[in-house]
Structure 1
């Protein structure tokens, strides 16, 4: 029965990956993929890896809350601060800061899933990856590398395979972005462990220094600084 359930899960993953590819990254389909993996063996391993990190078990057992940002307040913080930079990104992209799917946090897997989902755009800010498709692959690669978050592992792998098969002209840049994200993942502290809300006023540069992000992606072709200077 377990093997059959995992087979069905795998088939559903493939269907969801295809839907994400066709839609160019529909957030609903991404959330469906994330939810399809919450009770999987891969998510259980992700939880184990997170708990094994210094401070991971404490954060998880205390159910440190998923992010609930107040964009109007954060945008008032000094330029260059984490809070201002995050709020500016959300406003530039015209995002609803609470676009993420509400989930209970009654289990370790659900809590970790929701914490990662709600803080994902902060990872863009501190790592410097842009929010277009190639930049997304880079920033997802960080969490995929650091704790093996299942949906991000699948998305980065599937993105490279699809590009190699169907979009060779962008494969080199996509591969560079993923490699860059994995390099940050290997060298930096785990981003999923950071208590961002306790340091909104701190400069992004200070956060990067603390986390060990010595080669942010800002000025790469897939970086935030490059994207922000493009028209439109």
Structure 2
């Protein structure tokens, strides 16, 4: 009971602290206008909120507590990822610069949302292609690509895009690794991401996330999924360098072989694959171009 009480008090303190910091930032943005946050600091891109070292550390600690207390707080998880990124983002950018495909991503800076990706067009791709597999995965998991928080706390615009790219491609990683959206699968992917990409937020999630699992699921995570994540994530090509949007028409099995990815142990899905394929096929028929 004492441990639970302390956890609740820490959560309450973190909630108040994050709320006050957010309110303080908002007040200063209002006072100084949208172009400046402090009198000596100018935002580097739209939505950028510059932080000094103390604010960054304060927000990192508070968002860590809040994220662990309520994993549904996407804004806190996003803040944690940005405030703890450190030298990992420059390393990821360097990996992208070493790859022709990665350099093209940095040059074009594609975004992943329903405004930039035509889901109806993807549904027209043949069964077995990456584009069709992605639409089917979205249908099966009941999610959309519009849930990712924008980056606010990364000072360098190019590094901010690298973080945004990682965030928006997360569902592609789920799809290519054949993992659904549930706690154990998400943790398996976090282990994979940490080994493959080296982002601290993935390590934090992998370290503390298993506390939310019961003993049976935790045992399976560490005995089956974690070994897969370390082997596959360590040997696979760095996924941050992949221009996914130019691979819609490729056979998904060919893409997996090229990237060095193989399926993890069978996961627990909330919806049968047959239903998701039927939904994707229905979308294809309804949106197919009418022949003259």
Q: TM-score range by the shorter chain?
A: 0.7 to 0.9
- The CA deviation string for residues 104-133 of structure 1, in whole angstroms up to 9 with x for no partner, is 797233212211222111111211222222
- The CA deviation string for residues 171-222 of structure 1, in whole angstroms up to 9 with x for no partner, is 1112222332222110100112100111101011110111011x312xx232
Match of residue 49 from structure 1: 91
The answer to whether the 8 Å contact 1:63/1:111 transfers is no
Aligned length: 216
Match of residue 143 from structure 1: 193
Return 189-198 or 94-103, whichever deviates more.
94-103
Match of residue 110 from structure 2: 65
Select which of 247, 251, 254 maps to 1:203: 251
- Relative to structure 1, is the Cα distance of residues 200 and 223 closer, same or farther in structure 2, using a 3 angstrom cutoff? farther
Q: Aligned ranges for residues 116-155 of structure 1 at < 5 Å?
A: 116-155=166-205
The higher radius of gyration belongs to: 2
Q: Aligned ranges for residues 159-174 of structure 1 at < 5 Å?
A: 159-163=209-213, 167-174=214-221
The answer to whether the 8 Å contact 1:51/1:60 transfers is no
The answer to whether the 8 Å contact 1:43/1:149 transfers is yes
1:178 maps to 2:178: no
The answer to whether the 8 Å contact 2:89/2:163 transfers is no
Question: 4+ residue runs of structure 1 moved beyond 6 angstroms?
Answer: none
1:10 maps to 2:61: yes
Match of residue 23 from structure 1: none
Match of residue 272 from structure 2: 228
- Relative to structure 1, is the Cα distance of residues 162 and 94 closer, same or farther in structure 2, using a 3 angstrom cutoff? closer
The answer to whether the 8 Å contact 1:188/1:211 transfers is yes
Task: Describe the SS at the equivalent of 1:37.
Answer: helix
- Relative to structure 1, is the Cα distance of residues 174 and 75 closer, same or farther in structure 2, using a 3 angstrom cutoff? same
The answer to whether the 8 Å contact 2:90/2:159 transfers is no
Match of residue 87 from structure 1: 135
Q: What CA distance in whole angstroms lies between the structure 2 residues aligned with 1:191 and 1:146?
A: 7
- The CA deviation string for residues 35-93 of structure 1, in whole angstroms up to 9 with x for no partner, is 2332x3x4132112212322287357525222232211101101010000001111222
The alpha carbon displacement at 1:149 in A equals 2.0
Match of residue 16 from structure 2: none
Q: Aligned ranges for residues 92-107 of structure 1 at < 5 Å?
A: 92-103=140-151, 107=157
